[in-house]
Amino acid sequence: MLPFVIAFELLNLAASLTVPSAPNHPSRHLGSNILPNVITQFPAGAWVENIAVRSNGNLLFTTILPNASLYEASDLDCQSPTITRLFTVDIITSLAGITETSDDVFAVVGGNFSLTTGSVKGTFGLWRADFTRGRPSHAELIASLPDAALPNGATTVPQNNHLVLLADSILNTVWRVDVKKGTVDKAAQFTPESASAAASGILGINGVHIHDGYLWFTNSTATANPDTGDLESSMYRIKVDKNGVAAHSASPEKALTLPSEGMDDFTFGPGERSIKWIAGNVDNQIFAATPNGKYAVVAGASNSFEVATATACKFGRTRRDSHVLYVTTAGGTINGTTEGGKVQAIDTTGFRV
Ligand SMILES: *[C@@H]1O[C@H](CO)[C@@H](O)[C@H](O)[C@H]1NC(C)=O
Ligand SMILES: *[C@@H]1O[C@H](CO)[C@@H](O)[C@H](O)[C@H]1NC(C)=O
Ligand SMILES: *[C@@H]1O[C@H](CO)[C@@H](O)[C@H](O)[C@H]1NC(C)=O
Ligand SMILES: *[C@@H]1O[C@H](CO)[C@@H](O)[C@H](O)[C@H]1NC(C)=O
C-alpha cells in the first residue's frame, strides 16, 4: 500500500488523518499481521455491490450477480475469515444498497437486474435483515417500490432512523421509505428525470449519504473535461431537513469533481472525520478527498485487480479495525484474465504521515 503514503504526503493530510492508536512506523509493515487483504474472493461473474458493518464488527455484503444474496464475514481477525451466505431472495435477481436502520437491523434494496438488459421497473423492493434474534435466514419485505427503475445506493436518515433514502440511478429520484409504516415517497427529484436512460444504460445518482445536514451523492454520469478531454464525474450536495427531504426550490451544488469515469458509492471517515472515500467503479480505484477538494488515489489502478470495479466501501466498527476500509468489488477482465468480485480490506493507518 506504499503509493498512498506518498500520495498523502503530497496532500499533507496529516492533521485530518491522525489516528491516535497508530504506531509510528512505515505503513507497509502495518496491517499485514492484523488482517488478510482479501476478505473473500468470488468466482468470475459474481458482482459484490454494497457493504454494511454490524456493531460487532462483522461485515454484511450484497451481490447483484449471480443472485440476490446477503453474506456475512465474521472472524475478521483470523487469517481466513468465515463467510456465510445468510439468504438469497429468490423472487428477484439482485441486491444492491444496504443500510442499518436500528441496532443490528438492516434494510437492503433489490430487484431484477441484468448486465445485458438492465433493470426491470416494478420488481424492486426494500427488505429487512434483522439480527436482533440471531442470524436471519430470510429477508422480510418492508415495502415494494413499484415506480423505482434502479434503486441503488441506500442510507438511513441520521435523526430519524426509520427513514431510508434510496438513490434511483435511472430516474435520478431519491426514494424515501418509512421502514415502520412501509410507505414510500420522494425525498428529492434531480434532473435529468429520464426513463430513456434505462435504454442507454447511463447511470445518474448512485451513492447517497447524509453528513453535516447535507445529502451528498455521487453522479455516475461522466463528461469530458473541456480542457483536457479526460472523463470526469462529480459529487454533489444538497441541504436536507431532519426527515431527509430537500427544500422544494433547492438544487444540488457540485462539491467535488474527480478524474473518474463514474463514481459509485462512498463513505465518510475514519471515525468522525469528513474525508470522503469513494469507490471509482470502472476506474478500478478508490479515491479519498478532503473537505477542501484535494484528493488522492488510495488503492488500485486501471490495470490492477486490487479493487477492480470498486462498488462501495465502509470503515470497520471495532477498535481493531476502525481504520480499515472494506471495499466491495465486481471484478472484471484485465489483460485477458477475468476475476469475480471480492471484499478487500485496505489498512489506511499509513495515511497518517
Ligand atoms: C447464489 O450464488 C452463490 C454464489 O455463486 C451460490 O453459492 C449460491 O448457491 C446461489 N444461491 C442460490 C439460491 O441460487
Ligand atoms: C425476476 O427474477 C426472478 C428470479 O429470476 C423471476 O422469477 C421473476 O419472474 C422476475 N420478475 C420479472 C418481473 O421479470
Ligand atoms: C449528473 O451529471 C450529468 C453530466 O454532467 C448532468 O447532466 C446531470 O444533471 C447530473 N445529475 C445530477 C442529479 O446532478
Ligand atoms: C496488465 O498489463 C499491463 C501492461 O503490461 C501491466 O502493467 C499490468 O500490471 C497488467 N495487469 C494485470 C492485472 O495483469
Residues 32-75: tens digit of each pLDDT: 444 569 999 999 999 999 999 999 999 999 999 999 999 999 99
- Determine the pLDDT at residue 151: 98
- Determine the pLDDT at residue 17: 36
pLDDT reading at 7 higher than 90: no
pLDDT tens per residue across span 312-334: 999 999 999 999 999 999 999 99
Is 205 within 8 Å of 191 (Cβ atoms)? no
266 to 87, 129, 135, 210: CA distances (angstroms): 25, 22, 27, 11
Residue 203 in domain: yes
pLDDT reading at 4 higher than 60: no
In which band, very low, low, confident or very high, does the pLDDT at 14 lie, cut at 50, 70 and 90?
Answer: very low
Give the structural domain span for 81: 36-347
Cα(303) to ligand 4 centroid in Å equals 5
Pocket of ligand 1 (CB under 6 A): 46, 66-67, 69, 88
Residue 86 in domain: yes
Residue 14 in domain: no
- Determine the pLDDT at residue 194: 72
DSSP for 39-107, written as a single string: EEEPPTT-EEEEEEE-TTS-EEEEEEESS-EEEEEE-TTSSS-EEEEEEE-TTSSEEEEEEEEETTEEE
Cα(113) to ligand 2 centroid in Å equals 9
For ligand 3, atom 5, the nearest C-alpha belongs to 223
This prediction has a pTM of 0.91
Q: In what order do the strands lie in the sheet with 38-41?
A: 38-41, 342-347, 324-329, 310-315
The three three-digit cell numbers of residue 251, written as one number = 438544487
Number of domains in the chain: 1
* CA 184 to mean position of chain CA atoms: 22
Which range is least confidently modeled, 4-13, 34-43, 193-202?
4-13
Residue 123 Cβ inside 6 Å of ligand 2? The answer reads yes
- Determine the pLDDT at residue 11: 36
Residue 24 in domain: no
Residue 119 in domain: yes
- Determine the pLDDT at residue 195: 59
Residue 298 in domain: yes
CATH of the domain at 119: 2.120.10.30
Residue 15 in domain: no
Residue with the bigger pLDDT between 263 and 7: it is 263
Residue 301 Cβ inside 6 Å of ligand 4? The answer reads no
Residue 324 in domain: yes
